[in-house]
Amino acid sequence: MRKKIVAGNWKMNLDYARAMALVDAVLQQSDDAWKTQIIIAPPFPYLAAIELQLRLRTNIFIAAQNCSDHKEGAYTGETSAAILKSIGVDAVIIGHSERRKYFRESDDLLEQKVDRALENFLLPIYCCGETIDDRNDGKQFEVVKDQLTNGLFNLTAKDMSAVIIAYEPVWAIGTGVNATAAQAEEMHQYIRKLLVEKYGNDMAEATSILYGGSVTSKNAPELFGCKNVDGGLVGGASLKAEEFVSIVKAMEAAQRTSPYPPSKGE
């Protein structure tokens, strides 16, 4: 069965004391027995300290919000996947729409970043998603297909098996307007179909596809109840422990009550 995941993307928020307090609270309120994989993506300077804090816990991973497309060397201000790995980071968010927009990251560049992550055994969380104009023009499927084809689908099947995909419609990020469960499921189903076409059924069934964009504890149960939604990439709501843990609990509950029969091999 594919992994169910709730990831918190803190973006450029919280000072050090608040960040450490937030991790403490998440640790206290969550349980290692839960099946949902929790991932926390704090700002870079806190990664090493939080990794230490999380060491005793098996079901919480730590992710960076970005990594360099270069291996090492004279790239002032950049952080390589190898450096991240060396401090115990598990995963890295690649191609978030804010990186695509504000830092003009192209699919070609993101493809390099995915390669660097995989070379260093970091799990890439590869983001895709359309703008509101794309959707109004009926181009959402085309845009997502291009982002996946250009940034990800050159991977071998073996490499692809380490990738987590996050569908994040740009119009839903930080706006308070989430995609409806029907809209999310429609796109996730489409992404899984693309995976079937490129990598076959088993790989497609094993790949976790997260939804991101204004996920809250209120809308999480409905979104996570969708057959092809395997969890969430949570921004604003991940900055409050209780709210974030409630979202994780919604994923736990969705797994217990899933009406869908287990896939082949479960």
Nearer to ligand PGA among residue 199 and residue 244 (C-beta): 244
Our answer to whether residue 98 is catalytic in this structure is: no
Nearer to ligand PGA among residue 124 and residue 236 (C-beta): 236
Nearer to ligand PGA among residue 187 and residue 233 (C-beta): 233
* Catalytic residue selected from 51, 111, 130, 168: 168
Q: How far is the CB of 146 from ligand PGA (least distance, A)?
A: 20
Size of the site for ligand PGA (CB under 6 A): 13
Q: Per CB under 6 A, does 236 bind ligand PGA?
A: yes
Contacts with ligand PGA in 203-222 (CB under 6 A)? 212-215
Q: How far is the CB of 31 from ligand PGA (least distance, A)?
A: 23
- Give me the 112-141 binding string for ligand PGA, x by CB under 6 A, dash otherwise: ------------------------------
The only residue of 5, 9, 46, 228 in contact with ligand PGA, by rule CB under 6 A: 9
Nearer to ligand PGA among residue 172 and residue 204 (C-beta): 172
Residue 44 burial (CB count, 10 A):
15
Contacts with ligand PGA in 54-83 (CB under 6 A)? none
Q: Per CB under 6 A, does 151 bind ligand PGA?
A: no
Q: Are strands 60-64 and 37-41 parallel, antiparallel or unpaired?
A: parallel
Task: Give the interface with ligand PGA as residue ranges (CB under 6 A).
Answer: 9, 168, 173-174, 212-215, 233-237
Q: Which residues are catalytic?
A: 96, 168
